[in-house]
């Protein structure tokens, strides 16, 4: 298998075999790092990290992953480049492609990351757009694989909450690609986008995945191996929407009652982070004052419970993003 030169703009860009191979490589790289035997496969490479939106995990994973592998990463933050304001995405792509070996992009428009891939001539990695968050699902499926005795095609995951966002779009598509039992519990107003759902349905048709959606969270989670949730308001959405989102999504909060409704004593919890599980954030404080809520999409008890894999999942961003860089710049096989 040869992934050199390939971009990763959305989950469906990789076949199931390719997606699996990147996860396998992530396992090898994690082991090398843990045992102090990491081999530098990206020596002499330069990667651009172009961010229009804020980030903790994704930026850290690309920077440390590149450094561990001997590559140099240049962080080009929001408002620090000419991108989109004084220079078109196409022109920026042509310039960066002449200086860098690859480009990571986190921003608003999916069209922009596609433009970078079309005109840079180098691999482009989507570090989150309004539509997709595919490097997140690499870490999510890696984490689920690690915590399942059965193959992913025998594992169920239920996404609960704001299903109209990028994280859910990527989870349903990557889960469908890998033949999983993928369930969504969301209100009518926050269902996955048409593009995400039709893509997932097409992937499920060829992989044998099961795909279902309901507005009944208690029914959806029954028997699930993993519960997944994400913030109710995504980067770039106006704060004025908080009230409507809370009203629509409070019945979908991941709390002890919902965990109990799985009927699975071994159920595990995932969240891409950052999470509003307490009031120790700027937004969390405002919501506590205004709405009297200490937590939103996931309660503190559940977030901190032994069933929660969220910090391991966050660490896995590093191993999987590093694997993506190695696979597309150096090659999947040693
Ligand atoms: N999960 C994730 O993408 O986190 P950051 O926004 O901190 O990168
Ligand atoms: N859906 C969230 C994911 C953050 C990692 C957002 O886009 O803000």
CB 277 within 8 A of CB 300: yes
| Residue 334 scores a pLDDT above 80 | no
Q: Which residues pair with 47 in a beta bridge?
A: 73, 102
Residues 6+ positions from 79 with CB-CB distance below 8 Å: none
CB 255 within 8 A of CB 302: yes
Centroid of ligand 2 to alpha carbon of 283 (angstroms): 15
**For residue range 125-141, what is the model confidence (pLDDT) as tens digits?**
999 999 999 999 999 99
Centroid of ligand 2 to alpha carbon of 44 (angstroms): 32
In 10 A of CB 280, how many CB atoms? 11
Buried b (16+ CB within 10 A) or exposed e, 150-165: eebeebbbbbbbbbbb
Between CA 217 and CA 237 the distance in angstroms is 24
Name the residue of 234, 245, 317 to mutate for ligand 2: max ligand atoms within 8 A of Cβ: 234
Between CA 159 and CA 310 the distance in angstroms is 14
**For residue range 155-211, what is the model confidence (pLDDT) as tens digits?**
999 999 999 999 999 999 999 999 999 999 999 999 999 999 999 999 999 999 999
Phi, psi (5° rounding) for residue 147? -105, 20
At residue 32, the pLDDT reads: 98
At residue 236, the pLDDT reads: 95
Arithmetic mean of pLDDT over the chain:
98
Q: How far is CA 5 from CA 30, 97, 208, in A?
A: 23, 12, 29
Ligand having the closest approach to the CA of 283? 2
pTM above threshold 0.85:
yes
Residues 6+ positions from 179 with CB-CB distance below 8 Å: 16, 152, 153, 207, 208, 209
Between CA 38 and CA 60 the distance in angstroms is 18
> Ligand 2 within 6 A of 272 CB?
yes
Residue that the structure tokens 């891409």 belong to: 272
> Ligand 2 within 6 A of 166 CB?
yes
At residue 98, the pLDDT reads: 98
Exposed, middle or buried: residue 205 (CB in 10 Å: 0-12, 13-18, 19+)?
A: exposed
Phi-psi map region of 208: left, alpha, beta (phi>0 left; psi -120 to 50 alpha): left
Residues 6+ positions from 183 with CB-CB distance below 8 Å: 156, 157, 158, 159, 211, 212, 213, 214, 220, 221, 224
Q: List domains and CATH numbers for the chain.
A: 11-133+317-329 (3.40.50.1370), 148-308 (3.40.50.1370)
Name the residue of 51, 55, 272 to mutate for ligand 2: max ligand atoms within 8 A of Cβ: 272
Q: Supply the residues annotated as catalytic.
A: 106, 133, 136, 230, 272, 317
Strand 181-185 with 124-126, pairing: unpaired
Helix, strand, or coil here: 147? coil
At residue 333, the pLDDT reads: 80
Q: Which residues pair with 50 in a beta bridge?
A: 76, 105
Ligand having the closest approach to the CA of 167? 2
**For residue range 238-286, what is the model confidence (pLDDT) as tens digits?**
999 999 999 999 999 999 999 999 999 999 999 999 999 999 999 999 9
Closest CA to 181 of 150, 146, 218, 138: 150
Q: In terms of DSSP H, where are the helices of 69-191?
A: 89-99, 110-120, 134-146, 166-177
């Amino acid at each position: 298998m040869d992934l050199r030169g390939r971009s990763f703009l959305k989950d469906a860009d990789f076949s199931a075999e390719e997606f699996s191979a990147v996860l396998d490589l992530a396992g090898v790289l994690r082991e090398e790092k843990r045992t102090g035997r990491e081999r530098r496969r990206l020596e002499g490479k330069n990667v651009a990290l172009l961010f229009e939106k804020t980030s903790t995990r994704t930026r850290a994973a690309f920077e440390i992953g590149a450094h561990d592998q001997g590559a140099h990463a240049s962080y080009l933050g929001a408002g620090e480049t000419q991108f989109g304001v004084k220079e078109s995405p196409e022109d920026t792509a042509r310039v960066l492609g002449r200086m860098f070996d690859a480009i990571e992009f986190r921003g608003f428009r999916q069209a922009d990351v596609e433009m970078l891939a079309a005109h840079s001539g180098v691999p482009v990695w989507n570090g989150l757009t309004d539509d997709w968050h595919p490097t997140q699902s690499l870490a999510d499926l890696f984490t689920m694989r690690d915590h399942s005795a059965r193959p992913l095609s025998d594992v169920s995951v239920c996404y609960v909450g704001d299903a109209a966002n990028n994280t859910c779009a990527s989870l349903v598509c990557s889960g469908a690609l890998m033949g999983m039992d993928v369930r969504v519990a969301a209100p009518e107003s926050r269902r996955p986008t048409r593009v995400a759902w039709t893509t997932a349905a097409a992937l499920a048709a060829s992989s044998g995945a099961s795909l279902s959606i309901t507005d009944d969270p208690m029914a959806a989670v029954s028997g699930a191996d993993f519960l997944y949730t994400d913030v109710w308001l995504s980067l770039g959405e106006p704060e004025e929407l908080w009230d409507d989102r809370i009203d629509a999504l409070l019945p979908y909060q991941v709390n002890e009652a919902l965990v109990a409704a799985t009927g699975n004593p071994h159920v595990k919890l995932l969240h891409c982070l950052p999470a509003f599980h307490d009031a120790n954030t700027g937004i969390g404080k405002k919501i506590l004052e205004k709405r009297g809520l200490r937590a939103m999409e996931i309660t503190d008890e559940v977030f901190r419970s032994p069933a929660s894999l969220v910090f391991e999942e966050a660490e896995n961003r590093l191993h999987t993003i590093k694997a993506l860089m190695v696979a597309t710049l150096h090659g999947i096989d040693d």
